[in-house]
Amino acid sequence: MRKLFFAAAAAALALAPVVAEAQSPIIIKFSHVVANDTPKGKGALKFKELAEKYTDGKVKVEVYPNSSLYKDKEEIEALQLGSVQMLAPSTAKFAPLGVKEFEALDLPWLFKDDDTYAAAMKGPLGKYLFDKLQAKGIKGLAYWDNGFHMVSANKPLIKPADFQGLKFRISGSKIADQYFRNVGSIPQIMAFSEVYQALQTGVVDGCENTPSNYLTQKFYEVQKDITVSNHAHLQYAVIVNSKFWDGLPADIRGQLEKAMSEATDYTNSIARKENEDALAEIKKSGKTTLHSLTDADRKAWQEAMRPTYTWAKGRVGQEVLDLVAKELDVKMN
Nearest to 95 by CA among 202, 10, 195, 176: 176
pLDDT < 70 regions, the chain? 1-23, 333
| pLDDT score at 11 | 52
| pLDDT score at 73 | 82
Q: How far apart are CA 222 and CA 74, in angstroms?
A: 26
- pLDDT digits over 189-214, tens only? 999 999 999 999 999 999 999 999 99
Q: How far apart are CA 284 and CA 278, in angstroms?
A: 10
- The alpha carbon dihedral of 249, 145, 107, 177 has a sign of negative
Strands 59-64 and 186-189, how do they pair? Answer: unpaired
Q: Which amino acid would we find at residue 278?
A: A
Does residue 216 contact residue 282 with C-beta atoms inside 8 Å? no
| pLDDT score at 2 | 42
Q: Which residues pair with 139 in a beta bridge?
A: 240
- pLDDT digits over 79-121, tens only? 999 999 999 999 989 998 999 999 999 999 999 998 899 899 9
Start-to-end Cα distance in the chain = 50
Quick one: three-class SS letters along the chain? CHHHHHHHHHHHHHCCHHHCCCCCCEEEEEECCCCCCCHHHHHHHHHHHHHHHHCCCCEEEEEECCCCCCCCCCHHHHHHHCCCCEECCEHHHHHHHCCHHHHHHHCCCCCCCHHHHHHHHHCHHHHHHHHCCHHHCEEEEEEEEEEECEEEECCCCCCHHHHCCCEEEECCCHHHHHHHHHCCCEEEECCHHHHHHHHHHCCCCEEEECHHHHHHCCHHHHCCEEECCCCCEEEEEEEEEHHHHHCCCHHHHHHHHHHHHHHHHHHHHHHHHHHHHHHHHHHHHCCCEEECCCHHHHHHHHHHHCHHHHHHHHHHCHHHHHHHHHHHCCCCC
Nearest to 200 by CA among 214, 187, 172, 219: 219
Q: Which residues pair with 27 in a beta bridge?
A: 60
- The alpha carbon dihedral of 111, 112, 114, 120 has a sign of negative
Q: How far apart are CA 261 and CA 70, in angstroms?
A: 25
| pLDDT score at 182 | 98
| pLDDT score at 333 | 64
| pLDDT score at 14 | 52
For the CA atoms of the chain, what is the radius of gyration? 20
